[in-house]
């Protein structure tokens, strides 16, 4: 099993090239997106940081490997809304879903060096949950938000827990328990977040494709206004003789 180390920063690759090169069966995938849901999750994860910086990751999933159709597949608990079709819960999707760089600007692959037995345990349990239609729990997300604000709750059962329901990072942590690995020691799996998984103390290698996000025009404007106000305030103090 690899030792825990600083992330290996990958540059100059498209999402497709990055995933083709580093994704392997049993590895964990993390994504950060640009939708309002992604931003809401990353904002909620600020409670994990002493300086209240937003989290980077808003979704977690498991790489399943290449199948007979020649495509690499993932197993994940997600909410997908398409014309005349809604997928809500544990599902299989082609990794091509994450090739869109406009939707997924940050990606990571966490390789825990699972052996064949561990990999099979993770994937077999994931496929069982696909077959039994385990649901994606929006309700449990709100329970996790409460626990992020009240950290002592994170070791206890989710206040809004439901049977046969798991959101994305809870699903990943649950599967790894089947392989004998506790990704987030001391935290109830239904209180886990993608950001927690990115910080796991379990030895692993992280391959990181992280692009610099364009600064918000509103933030830039706000900074210019604050600078202008400071300059005018200094000028006013000089004219009135104040220090």
What is residue 243's DSSP assignment? -
Neighbours of 78 (CB within 10 A): 20
Residue with the larger pLDDT of the pair 175 and 236: 175
Q: In degrees, to the nearest 5, what angle opens at C-alpha 242 toward C-alphas 240 and 243?
A: 150
Q: How far apart are CA 168 and CA 188, in angstroms?
A: 14
> What confidence score (pLDDT) does residue 151 get?
94
Residue 207 has pLDDT above 50, yes or no: yes
Q: pLDDT tens digit string along 117-156? A: 999 999 999 999 999 999 998 899 999 999 999 999 999 9
Please tell me the pTM assigned to this model.
0.84
Cα dihedral 130/133/134/136 (nearest 10): 100
Lowest mean per-residue pLDDT among 150-154, 161-165, 214-218: 214-218
Burial class (CB in 10 A: 0-12, 13-18, 19+), 222: exposed
Q: pLDDT tens digit string along 33-92? A: 888 889 999 999 999 999 999 999 999 999 999 999 999 999 999 987 666 667 789 999
Quick one: pLDDT band at residue 222, thresholds 50, 70, 90?
A: very low
């Amino acid at each position: 099993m690899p030792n825990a180390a600083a992330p290996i920063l990958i540059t100059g690759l498209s999402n497709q090239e990055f995933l083709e090169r580093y994704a392997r069966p049993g590895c964990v995938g993390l994504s950060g997106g640009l939708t309002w849901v992604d931003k809401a999750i990353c904002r909620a994860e600020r409670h994990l940081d002493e300086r209240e910086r937003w989290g980077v990751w808003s979704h977690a999933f498991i790489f399943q490997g290449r199948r007979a159709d020649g495509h690499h597949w993932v197993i994940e608990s997600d909410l997908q809304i398409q014309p005349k079709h809604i997928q809500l819960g544990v599902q299989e999707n082609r990794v091509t879903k994450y090739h869109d760089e406009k939707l997924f600007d940050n990606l990571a692959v966490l390789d825990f060096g699972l052996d064949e037995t561990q990999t099979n345990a993770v994937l077999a349990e994931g496929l069982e949950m696909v077959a039994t239609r385990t649901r994606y729990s929006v309700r449990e997300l709100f329970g996790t938000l409460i626990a992020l604000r009240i950290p002592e709750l994170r070791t206890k059962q989710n206040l809004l827990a439901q049977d046969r329901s798991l959101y994305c990072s809870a699903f990943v942590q649950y599967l790894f328990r089947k392989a004998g690995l506790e990704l987030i020691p001391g935290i109830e799996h239904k209180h886990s977040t993608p950001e927690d998984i990115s910080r796991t103390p379990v030895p692993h290698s992280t391959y990181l494709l992280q692009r610099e996000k364009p600064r918000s025009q509103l933030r830039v404007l706000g900074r210019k206004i604050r600078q202008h106000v400071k300059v005018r305030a200094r000028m006013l103090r000089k004219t009135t003789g104040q220090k």
